[in-house]
Amino acid sequence: MILYLLPLYWGLMLLSCGLAIYRFRAVQTPTKILCILIFWGMLSETVARQVAKISGNNQWVYNIAMGVEWALVCLYFNYSISRFKQYGIGLWLSVCVLLYCIFHIINTTPENGLNYSILYGACISILFLSAYAIYRFLTLERQNIVLQKKVHFWVPWLLILYQGCALWAWATFPHFATTSREAALVLQQVLLSNCIVYYAGLFIILYQYPKLKETYGR
């Protein structure tokens, strides 16, 4: 199953990168950060694949990639939530995230393994930020706003789906990795499918961008 999902995953990343390049100059700052997130994901996967071929262990690449992705998401919310932008909250969060990740990469990363302090921290904090962004949208007082036609209304929902599924899968993976090989393989397929849905969602958002509008949560 994974052999069939991998080409789809890489294909969607390539398509998303191509569309992100095409849209980059025309979009506003929050959506530009989404484009950079797509570029970073493609770069991380490419480097991880090459490192795995050379050394057989690419987990350190994913530890760094998770930290940078986490910081970029915080930066995205800094510009997509007006209150965050006003006080620079997302910028401070990004700096704190990078310092947190550097500390844990140096001090708590297991040999040849993922750093779950970074993984869980990223998933949980992005879930809370996304929920807060949706809450802000739902409390907008402008009556003429059609939320489903707004770029930054859909992004938090996509992040909740992506990070929620990732959190569940990674929380159960260590247990099944040692007790059930079949269950571990299924979880790998779930994680890969989750990434496919994530990049498909980003592609659709960028593709529909001309029909959507940039409205920010308060």
pLDDT confidence of residue 186: 86
Q: How far apart are CA 47 and CA 41, in angstroms?
A: 10
Say whether pTM exceeds 0.85.
Answer: yes
pLDDT confidence of residue 175: 77
pLDDT confidence of residue 177: 72
Cα–Cα distances (Å) from 67 to 115, 123, 189, 216, in that order, read 10, 11, 23, 25
Q: How far apart are CA 118 and CA 200, in angstroms?
A: 25
Q: How far apart are CA 39 and CA 34, in angstroms?
A: 9
Q: How far apart are CA 205 and CA 200, in angstroms?
A: 9
Domains in the chain: boundaries: 2-211
Which residue in 63, 22, 10 sits closest to 199, CA to CA? Answer: 10
Task: Tell whether the model's pLDDT for residue 42 goes beyond 80.
Answer: yes
Answer yes or no: are the C-beta atoms of 176 and 146 closer than 8 Å: no
Q: Please give the CATH architecture assigned to the domain spanning 2-211.
A: Up-down Bundle (1.20)
pLDDT tens digits along 70-128:
999 999 999 999 889 999 999 999 999 999 999 999 998 887 788 999 999 999 999 99
Beta bridge partners of 161: none
Which residue in 75, 74, 217, 76 sits closest to 150, CA to CA? Answer: 217
What is the total residue count of the chain? 218
pLDDT tens digits along 170-215:
998 877 777 777 877 888 899 999 999 999 999 999 998 888 766 5
pLDDT tens digits along 135-146:
988 887 565 566
pLDDT tens digits along 133-177:
999 888 875 655 666 678 888 999 999 999 999 999 999 887 777
Mean pLDDT of 38-62: 92
Treating both helix axes as pointing N-terminal to C-terminal, what angle do 59-80 and 151-179 enclose, rounded to 10 degrees? 160
**Residue 183: count of CB within 10 angstroms of its CB:** 14
